[in-house]
Structure 1
Amino acid sequence: MSHALSSSQHTTKHVIETKGGVVASQHRLAAEAGAEVLRAGGDAVDAAVACSFVVGVLEPWMSGPAGGGAAVHWRADSGEAVAINFGMRSPKGLRVEDYPLSGEGKAGDLFPWERVTEDRNVQGAKAIAVPGTVEGLGQAHARWGKMPWAELVAPAVAHARQGMLVDWYAALIIASTARELAKDPDAAAMFLDDGQWPKGSGWTAIPDNRLDQSRMADSLDIVARGGARAFHEGDLAQAMARDVQEKGGSLSYEDLKGYRAWMGAATPVKYRDALYHVMPGLTAGPTFARVMEELEAVDMSTPAQAYTAYARALDQAYAERLGKMGDTGEVPEAPGCTTHFAVVDRAGNMVTHTQTLLSIFGSRVVSPSTGFLMNNGIMWFDPEQGKPNSLGPDKSCLMNVCPVLGAVGDKRFAIGASGGRKIVSAVSQLASFVVDGGMDIAGAFHNPRIDVSGGGQIIADETLDEDVLAALGEVLPMKTTRRTVLPYAFACPAGVMRQGAVNTGCTEIMSPWGDAALED
């Protein structure tokens, strides 16, 4: 971390209590779109649909319709926690031999896999998996939605027609990946000037540069008028598959048409006097459960004890995750860069929803016919064969997503995060802050965290007390850093809480766009 950063600057986010609904998202305008739906009498699920589509337009490098993810829904009237897995799958026509190992060591992106020749599993059309986000939203809306689907997608269409404003933060993100975006002519046309220079505004000017998302607007309008399945079937899906195949990928129309999200009971996780509900199957839900199992057996009465317990539990759980989990061909039975948002409505219904393209800007490939930035879900697979999560055709991806519902005393909360492998560290600590520390949503989100995500080391917030840092250094090799806008040393969470009839929400305090929008 740069020593040039201010040592006296202190960042906080104000949390407002309300009896109306709250939407917390990594983009303020997406949260506002959800809150507007609540004002119109919509359910939390309706707000989630609107928020999802808008954030896919306004934070396009993190997520979009051509991605995947998972969500957990709480229904206040029935006391039911329902999971929806809309994770990506590898195409049926994928050929493992197209992804030979290069022998050049570890890949340089999110996972410690062996490097594939030309990084084909990371970037380009061969990295594209079958998307599921729109199908997942469609299933939730069909079951619980109150407002017409077209009205919920309309705000995203309007934002795409106008085009996302490229402010300083957007320019910074685009610049970070400009070299890779330039390799795809359609991605370069959308995000770069003259095919190579990051879009941006003058450093002293009010931003006025916008992305051309008109093609995306047309496609979203088709989805608005035709329903969720219009993304997976018909002319739009055929055009998307054709674009990917012409660029060398294996995504087919049959893959899109045959895709179905999975819906079933969320997995209950008991912890002390609390109860969490998490995603089953190939997500980080089981890893979260393993972390909490380890924590429950530990004395966490002092900060040093608590943080060393986090470190040990996360290290153990992540080692098990990377070594054992993968798609064995079984679908979970009812009893994984990214964005997250959470919703609570006036009636107490909740949604905790994570959606992703996986890497920042996904595959860095834009489908020219549809205007959608495509995912790189193939990177979720281990390219070495003979492992539970090895790359193969028609397999579910092992996602890092970890949307969590929690309840303790009169508090009920919905949390989650973006940040790849860093997600479990953030979400498990936030869950513990609320339950073990008795914190409200503001206290939990402002409290310092550590990250332990499978790399054999601890990344610790430098604002932790010296005795805590010293104790952590005895557990694993440790580096200290501070929470900043960029780079992301820690995950980027968002969440809502309901205590009695009062609702609150918060997002990562260092996220310049993230905010909680209120119904009232």
Structure 2
Amino acid sequence: MTAKKRFAASVLLAGLLLSSTACADARREQPAAAHPPGAAIASAHALATEAGMQMLRQGGNAFDAAVATSAALSVVEPISSGLGGGGFFLLHDAKTGKDIFVDARETAPAAATPAEYLLQNGEFNRDRAENGPWSAGIPGLPAAFVHLADKYGQLPLKTTLAPAIKLAREGFPVYGRLARGYASRRAVMERYPGTRAVFLAGGAPIKEGDVFKQPDLARTLESLASKGFDGFYKGDVAEKLLAGVHAEGGRWTAQELAGYRVKERAPISFKYRDWRIVTAPPPSSGGIALAEMLQILQGWDLRKLDEAHRIHLVVESMRRAFRDRTFYLGDPDFVKIPMRTLASRDYAAGLRATIHPDKATPSDLLSGQQTPLEDEETTHFSIIDAAGNRVAATQTVNLTYGSGLIPPGTGVLLNDEMDDFALKPGTPNAFGVMGYDANAPAPGKRMLSSMTPTFMESPDRVAVLGTPGGSRIITMVLLGVLGYDQGLDAQAVAALPRYHHQWMPDEIEAESGAIPGPVAKELQAMGHGLDLPSDEAAGGRGSSHVWGNLQTVLWDRKAGTLTGGSDPRNPVGKAEVMAAPAAAKAR
């Protein structure tokens, strides 16, 4: 039998097996009810983890801890996220058993039409898309705090925002990544008087070891804590935001600020082997891509393959998912997305049949551009509490320090998420990914995102995970899921080496050491192009030496243990576990 016939037969057999088990997989019988033996939080900064833990010690639940952790990250990680940005919150309510997706993505101002991002010669205005007021969407994160506190929390905002307010007022030690990020964005950030007032308050740029205080941000957080939604989107703070944007030539309106609303959406859920995966729906592209990739890979037992063939198949699944991301995905309130098709097993089976077991499939379309070398942008945290509530949250201001613009008197660093729209169809954004009409801007529309907060559930284990990393978020979460499926613990999953393919450019990128030399040669023999850090010595572009900042927690129901994993690439991150008091277990 030829290799082609053997491959076709294996695809047919896999399809029959999937078909016969689909009904049984659809509704798996849950194990006997049990509570975690405590609570766990993993976040990108120890001060944010501690803020969340304070809420749990004060009788709050995972959702209160999420507000405190998120707000604290907004203070100590302005390089990655903040009140001027947005995020996605994936929730599991243990009492009802429901999974909820809270969409706090930024929205497009009405003035931000595609024509506003073109130069007079018709070329794309990259500076306007990435810097200053035109790059900023209407922020969503403050509204998410109000929504989570009002609908799911047990503590008032004055309590859950208190740690962040204290950090902003009293300051915290500047760490290396914060100082390096400022140095890389200094030329843009110092264009704006409001930003200079914050980052040059001591007369010189922030440096590692300084105590960084943000009194205006503390006052903005206090307004949000005391007045809720109106404390940010209306009144004095809103007036200062508008004045700062207008002074730099932007055209936000008071109606757009006051009209912002978070949206609850149904998460995507699907089966992969023994796991039920729950993840982000559009306007995240991550959940559909994750479903597509994992269900393609369902046809093989990756654990039995040699490393080169395992990477080959995983990369081929990445290639196909990113191709679909480019053409089909956007804001579901504005675009009809074929979600059921893209996330279905039948569609995945069809894609699987196009994968040759020993040869790369050329992307064979328009040439792409290099993915930027980034690991600074966006942040993630994961939480499980003693009652079994869970939160996976990813939040961002997009690129390093967002737009660079702080409207004077607010302390709020605005995002530059408008670059995540297809501002010029077919033109790659800052992360090298392209988009077309489905992700074109429109008033109130939410830009496509790669953020992929995710839950995993099996009969024995429950995991919460996510990471920053631009377009690489999706593939890092994929590798994390595969790591848990291989039996790794939380810290090992957080430390996994990473590789990536996003359809265009047609090449595999990888961290230093992620693909050993002999495996790289095998992949090249299969037809894969490689962009590896070691290529730099030979004159190649090379990839970033490390990527992402994965934060994850794991509840092993069988062993009765709760553990956390914080990415070792980030020295200020922290995973912390707290034993549950008897009262919490009974709640």
TM-superposed CA distance for 1:342, in Å, is 0.6
The aligned residue for residue 372 of structure 1 is: 412
TM-superposed CA distance for 1:229, in Å, is 4.2
Three-state SS of the structure 1 residue aligned to 2:64 is: helix
User: Is 1:478 paired with 2:530?
Assistant: yes
User: Is 1:359 paired with 2:399?
Assistant: yes
For residues 26 and 129 of structure 1, what CA distance do their matches in structure 2 show? Answer: 24
Q: What residue identity is the alignment partner of 1:450?
A: Y
Pairing of 1:416-455 with structure 2 (within 5 A)? 416-435=466-485, 437-453=486-502, 454-455=504-505
Give per-residue Cα distances to partners, 1:190-210, cap 9 Å, x unaligned.
Answer: 224787x63215xxxxx2x23
The aligned residue for residue 453 of structure 2 is: 403
| Range with bigger deviation, 209-218 or 299-308 | 299-308
TM-superposed CA distance for 1:244, in Å, is 1.0
Q: 1:319 aligns with which of 316, 323, 331?
A: 323
Q: What residue identity is the alignment partner of 2:442?
A: G
Instruction: Note if contact 1:68-1:132 (Cα within 8 Å) is conserved in structure 2.
Output: yes
Three-state SS of the structure 1 residue aligned to 2:130 is: coil
TM-superposed CA distance for 1:241, in Å, is 1.9
Q: 2:95 aligns with which of 61, 77, 90?
A: 77
TM-superposed CA distance for 1:118, in Å, is 5.7
Structure 1 residues 194 and 351: alpha-carbon distance in aligned structure 2, compared to 1, 3 A threshold: closer
User: Is 1:389 paired with 2:439?
Assistant: yes
For residues 138 and 256 of structure 2, what CA distance do their matches in structure 1 show? Answer: 6
Give per-residue Cα distances to partners, 1:163-202, cap 9 Å, x unaligned.
Answer: 232233322222122222222222233224787x63215x
Pairing of 1:43-54 with structure 2 (within 5 A)? 43-54=61-72
The aligned residue for residue 280 of structure 1 is: 281
Structure 1 residues 477 and 118: alpha-carbon distance in aligned structure 2, compared to 1, 3 A threshold: closer
Q: 1:184 aligns with which of 185, 188, 192?
A: 192
User: Is 1:200 paired with 2:207?
Assistant: yes
For residues 409 and 205 of structure 2, what CA distance do their matches in structure 1 show? Answer: 23
Pairing of 1:78-97 with structure 2 (within 5 A)? 78-97=96-115
TM-superposed CA distance for 1:40, in Å, is 1.6
The aligned residue for residue 507 of structure 1 is: 566
Structure 1 residues 232 and 296: alpha-carbon distance in aligned structure 2, compared to 1, 3 A threshold: same
The aligned residue for residue 296 of structure 1 is: 298
Pairing of 1:455-466 with structure 2 (within 5 A)? 455-461=505-511, 462-466=513-517
Q: 1:494 aligns with which of 542, 551, 572?
A: 551
TM-superposed CA distance for 1:234, in Å, is 2.4
TM-score (normalizing by structure 1): 0.87
Give per-residue Cα distances to partners, 1:417-461, cap 9 Å, x unaligned.
Answer: 1011110010011011112x1222122222322122343221224
For residues 197 and 410 of structure 2, what CA distance do their matches in structure 1 show? Answer: 14
TM-superposed CA distance for 1:77, in Å, is 2.5
User: Is 1:339 paired with 2:379?
Assistant: yes
Instruction: Note if contact 1:70-1:401 (Cα within 8 Å) is conserved in structure 2.
Output: yes
TM-superposed CA distance for 1:140, in Å, is 2.1
Pairing of 1:46-125 with structure 2 (within 5 A)? 46-101=64-119, 116-117=124-125, 119-125=127-133
Give per-residue Cα distances to partners, 1:329-373, cap 9 Å, x unaligned.
Answer: 4489999x2110011111221100001001110000011121100
Structure 1 residues 138 and 331: alpha-carbon distance in aligned structure 2, compared to 1, 3 A threshold: farther
For residues 84 and 65 of structure 1, what CA distance do their matches in structure 2 show? Answer: 16
Give per-residue Cα distances to partners, 1:360-389, cap 9 Å, x unaligned.
Answer: 100000111211000111111112256221
For residues 133 and 277 of structure 1, what CA distance do their matches in structure 2 show? Answer: 22
Higher helix share: 2
Three-state SS of the structure 2 residue aligned to 1:81 is: strand
For residues 465 and 120 of structure 2, what CA distance do their matches in structure 1 show? Answer: 39
User: Is 1:257 paired with 2:258?
Assistant: yes
Instruction: Note if contact 1:380-1:397 (Cα within 8 Å) is conserved in structure 2.
Output: yes
Structure 1 residues 102 and 424: alpha-carbon distance in aligned structure 2, compared to 1, 3 A threshold: farther
Three-state SS of the structure 2 residue aligned to 1:414 is: strand
For residues 218 and 545 of structure 2, what CA distance do their matches in structure 1 show? Answer: 30
TM-superposed CA distance for 1:475, in Å, is 4.9
TM-score (normalizing by structure 2): 0.77
Give per-residue Cα distances to partners, 1:3-46, cap 9 Å, x unaligned.
Answer: xxxxxxxxxxxxxxx93211111111101111111122210001
| Range with bigger deviation, 136-145 or 371-380 | 136-145
Structure 1 residues 434 and 103: alpha-carbon distance in aligned structure 2, compared to 1, 3 A threshold: farther
Three-state SS of the structure 2 residue aligned to 1:83 is: strand
Instruction: Note if contact 1:311-1:475 (Cα within 8 Å) is conserved in structure 2.
Output: no
For residues 229 and 272 of structure 1, what CA distance do their matches in structure 2 show? Answer: 46
TM-superposed CA distance for 1:513, in Å, is 1.0
The aligned residue for residue 172 of structure 1 is: 180
Structure 1 residues 169 and 491: alpha-carbon distance in aligned structure 2, compared to 1, 3 A threshold: closer
| Range with bigger deviation, 407-416 or 353-362 | 407-416
| Range with bigger deviation, 402-411 or 184-193 | 184-193
TM-superposed CA distance for 1:102, in Å, is 6.9
Structure 1 residues 475 and 225: alpha-carbon distance in aligned structure 2, compared to 1, 3 A threshold: farther
Structure 1 residues 488 and 121: alpha-carbon distance in aligned structure 2, compared to 1, 3 A threshold: farther
The unaligned stretches of length 5 or more in structure 2 are 1-35, 341-376, 426-435, 535-542, 580-587
C-alpha root-mean-square deviation of aligned residues, in Å?
2.4
For residues 494 and 576 of structure 2, what CA distance do their matches in structure 1 show? Answer: 16
Instruction: Note if contact 1:311-1:472 (Cα within 8 Å) is conserved in structure 2.
Output: no
The aligned residue for residue 248 of structure 1 is: 249
TM-superposed CA distance for 1:84, in Å, is 0.8
Instruction: Note if contact 1:101-1:383 (Cα within 8 Å) is conserved in structure 2.
Output: no
Three-state SS of the structure 1 residue aligned to 2:550 is: strand
Instruction: Note if contact 1:481-1:489 (Cα within 8 Å) is conserved in structure 2.
Output: no
Structure 1 residues 146 and 165: alpha-carbon distance in aligned structure 2, compared to 1, 3 A threshold: same
For residues 320 and 223 of structure 1, what CA distance do their matches in structure 2 show? Answer: 39
